[in-house]
Amino acid sequence: MTDIPTTPFTLHPRWPSLQALLQAHQAAGMRLDLGCGYYKPQGYIGLDNLVGEAAQIINQDNAPDILMDLSAQPLPFADNSVDEVRSSHFLEHSNLDHVLNESWRVLKPGGRLVFTVPYANSAEGMYPGHHIFLTERWFHENLNFQAKFHIERERYDPSQAWRRLPLVVRGLIPFSFARTFLFNACWQMQIVARKRHTEAQPRPVRFAGIKSRLRPWLQRWR
């Protein structure tokens, strides 16, 4: 295990030291909640800078354990020391590449990355304050993400507007089609990924499969 990076941060007064915080969570597994606000799940170490706290119900009993700038500073944890990194409605406010690189660094090989983001093609996705707008396509095609993580599963949550549509309409338009091509059908998505045991080399897009499928069709027009 490598040394913990030198990072400017502030501990919540409940913790006398970073070492005390780490020791309190080691037995059950080190799990981080990035951008937790005042909604940190039990058993997780919460990190945030509380820039957006005016939009939250303040609960000092569940305040972040570590105050820091997640978009600019390295996480104060050693390489390969964390079992899970989660975030909920945080990545759209972040320096995404930095957060993903740091998550990969601190996760153990095979460790879980679990994040929920507002779907870009929705009213929630267009809220003011978002720096980036995300759908599954970015995670499927980004070479850096694909080299560091492999996706285990994805979940897409229908919006209230979609649920209020008549059943006959929802029966005619599959949700998988609607969330891609219609505005405000899906309001958020969750992706569960695992850290690759070794960072994969980015691979160029290959067209051989496409050519083989097109060949019979092209031959008819010769």
Instruction: Check which CATH number belongs to the domain holding 77 and give it.
Output: 3.40.50.150
In a domain, 128, yes or no: yes
Query: Region 109-138: what's the mean pLDDT?
Result: 94
pLDDT of residue 217: 43
Average pLDDT score, the chain = 88
pLDDT of residue 210: 46
Residue 11 pLDDT > 90: yes
Q: What is the DSSP letter of 69?
A: -
- Give the pLDDT confidence of 87-110 residue by residue, as tens digits: 999 999 999 999 999 999 999 999
In a domain, 3, yes or no: no
Bridge partner residues of 189 (DSSP): 117, 156
- Give the pLDDT confidence of 27-49 residue by residue, as tens digits: 889 999 999 988 899 999 999 99
Share of the chain above pLDDT 70, in %: 85
In a domain, 4, yes or no: no
In a domain, 1, yes or no: no
In a domain, 116, yes or no: yes
Number of domains in the chain: 1
Edge-first strand order for the sheet with 107-118 is 10-11, 66-67, 45-48, 31-34, 82-88, 107-118, 186-195, 149-158
Query: Region 142-171: what's the mean pLDDT?
Result: 96
pTM of the shown model: 0.84
pLDDT of residue 189: 98
In a domain, 2, yes or no: no
Strands 82-88 and 66-67: unpaired
pLDDT of residue 50: 85
Distance CA 65, CA 18 (A): 10
| Boundaries of domain holding 94 | 10-219
Radius of gyration for the alpha carbons in the chain, expressed in angstroms and rounded: 21
